[in-house]
Chain A
Amino acid sequence: MIANSTFAFLALVVSESESGGGGLLSVNGGLAFWTSLTFILLLILLTRFAWKPILSALKQREDAIKDSLEQAEKAKDEAKQILAQNQNSLSKAEDESKKIIEQSRLFAQNLKDQMIKDSKEEAKKLIEEAAAEIDRKKNAAFDELKNQIAEISVQAAEKILKENLDAEKNRKIVDKYINEISKN
């Protein structure tokens, strides 16, 4: 199809050129020369002054974009890692503090128990000592009382004997002494 129409076209154009002189399909050597020269010059000049700087600038920009994207990705990863670390250490610290609190509570409990026990014992001991002291004092007081009673009795007897008394009087005297004693 293509070959057919191209051939028909060529035939027509060639016939044109034969009749008109310098047809559509006749290659003009001068134009070909100028085209070659222009194109080669353009290729060299554009490569030197346009394509190289443009392409390197494009590449530089693309690299910069790629780099910054990669860096951002890296930074994101790092931040994630740091966050995880932080969370990890935070939970660790929380555990640690819980443990410390637990320990100190236990310690305080123990101390309290110990102190209560100690103070109870102390109190008991004090009470016992006090009781013993009271007993002792009581005994001493009794002894003294006994001695005094004995002495007073002796003195009373002495007075009775000295004053030679009747029964009535004696009785009063004795009562009086006893009263004195009880007052004391």
Chain B
Amino acid sequence: MIDSTSTQIIVDSLKTTKAASGSDWILHHVMDGNYLDFSPFFKLYLPHFELFGLDLSITRHVIFMWLGSLLLFIVMTRVAKAYKSSMVPKGFTNFWEIFIVFVRDEIAKPTIGKGFEKFLPYLLTAFFFILFGNFLGLVPFSATFTSNIAVTAVMAIFSFIVTQYGGMRSNGAFGYFKGLIPHGVPILLLPIMIVVEFLGLLTKPFALAIRLFANMTAGHIVVYALISLIFVMQNVAWAGLAIPMALFIYSLEILVALLQAYIFTILSGLFIGMAVHQEH
């Protein structure tokens, strides 16, 4: 429901703004680029870099992905260090412990069930990677790397790989693929079922990637569209309406940033749980 609404919002906003202003500056803000955008002050251009014919330039999203990862690593190692001195968490440690325990007890444990500990590092890393990316995108002059389809696709592929690995690990490679097809299916239907189930396997990560990408993109586009209202109408008085609404959407984005990290992780957990415990 949220997905369909957000995609609708993106489509409508893009159509209207493009029709009205005749430029795709919003897309340039949302998309990846080879510069750090500090407009209206300056743009910091990043070097182009190619290897084996593949464009491996360090782009804006790569920079912010590294920034987010570095931040995440520093935060979590500090939390880990805090436990060495005292078992009783305080302030900073306590704050992050809430999220870690939440991922463990509310996401991994109920969705995967028995043997969830093995998948906990992956789920935790995915959750915090997306969380930091989402929140980093809300900082002015930064970019949301989780709103890039390449990033979300890779994340979804990792979830897919972990799911398949977990399924084959606990059921055996043959048993896992046999378990994908429901019991009691007539042999005549088998060719169709195999195709359907195979497609079903692929749609799950596809939906994961599109959901995260669309949700993280939609809010930004709406904020930009609301701001552009001032320029489209060519009257600064529109700021009185546009800025509060943009602020409202921005606040909503904070909620969405948290929610999407949660949804991505819990769905990954669900898929892993379904693959690991096939008996149902």
In the complex, B212 has a CB within 8 A of chain A: no
Once A6-B7, A30-B56 are accepted as A-B contacts, the answer to whether A24 and B217 lie under 8 Å apart by CB is: yes
Contact of B149 with A25 in the complex, beta carbons under 8 Å: yes
Residue on B with the closest CB to A42? B69
Q: Please report which residues of chain A, range 11-38, place their CB below 8 angstroms from some CB of chain B when the two chains form the complex.
A: 12, 16, 20, 22-36, 38
How far does the alpha carbon of A50 sit from the alpha carbon of B99 in the complex, in Å?
Answer: 14
In the complex, B170 has a CB within 8 A of chain A: no
Contact of B4 with A27 in the complex, beta carbons under 8 Å: no
Contact of A57 with B155 in the complex, beta carbons under 8 Å: no
Q: Please report which residues of chain B, range 1-30, place their CB below 8 angstroms from some CB of chain A when the two chains form the complex.
A: 3-4, 7-8, 10-11, 14-15, 24, 27, 30
Contact of B11 with A50 in the complex, beta carbons under 8 Å: no
Residue on B with the closest CB to A22? B31
Set A29, A36, A51: member contacting B54, Cβ < 8 A: A29
How far does the alpha carbon of A64 sit from the alpha carbon of B210 in the complex, in Å?
Answer: 43
Least Cβ–Cβ distance between A72 and chain B, in angstroms: 18
In the complex, A90 has a CB within 8 A of chain B: no
Once A36-B154, A53-B83, A55-B120 are accepted as A-B contacts, the answer to whether A31 and B100 lie under 8 Å apart by CB is: no
How far does the alpha carbon of A4 sit from the alpha carbon of B154 in the complex, in Å?
Answer: 24
Provide a sorted-by-A list of 16 A–B residue pairs whose CB atoms are within 8 angstroms: A2-B7, A9-B11, A20-B24, A22-B31, A27-B153, A31-B150, A32-B153, A34-B58, A34-B65, A38-B69, A42-B73, A43-B125, A46-B76, A50-B79, A54-B79, A54-B80
Once A34-B62, A49-B77 are accepted as A-B contacts, the answer to whether A39 and B87 lie under 8 Å apart by CB is: no
| Chain B residues at the A interface, C-beta cutoff of 8 Å | 3-4, 7-8, 10-11, 14-15, 24, 27, 30-32, 54-59, 61-62, 65-66, 69, 72-73, 76-77, 79-80, 83-84, 87, 97, 100-101, 104, 117, 120-122, 124-125, 128-129, 145, 148-151, 153-155, 158, 210, 214, 217
- Nearest first, the 8 A-B pairs at minimum CB distance are A50-B76, A57-B83, A31-B150, A53-B80, A47-B121, A35-B154, A9-B7, A30-B55
Query: Given the complex, which residues of B lie within 8 Å of A61, measured CB to CB?
Result: 87
Contact of B80 with A50 in the complex, beta carbons under 8 Å: yes
In the complex, A109 has a CB within 8 A of chain B: no
How far does the alpha carbon of A33 sit from the alpha carbon of B32 in the complex, in Å?
Answer: 14
Contact of A16 with B27 in the complex, beta carbons under 8 Å: yes
Least Cβ–Cβ distance between A14 and chain B, in angstroms: 12
Query: Given the complex, which residues of B lie within 8 Å of A26, measured CB to CB?
Result: 149
- For the complex with contacts A12-B14, A51-B120, 10 further pairs of A-B residues with Cβ separation under 8 Å are A2-B4, A22-B31, A30-B54, A31-B59, A32-B154, A34-B58, A43-B122, A46-B121, A57-B87, A58-B83
Contact of A28 with B69 in the complex, beta carbons under 8 Å: no
Residue on B with the closest CB to A50? B76
- Of A9, A55, A58, A60, chain B has the most CB atoms within 10 Å of the CB of A9
Least Cβ–Cβ distance between B73 and chain A, in angstroms: 6
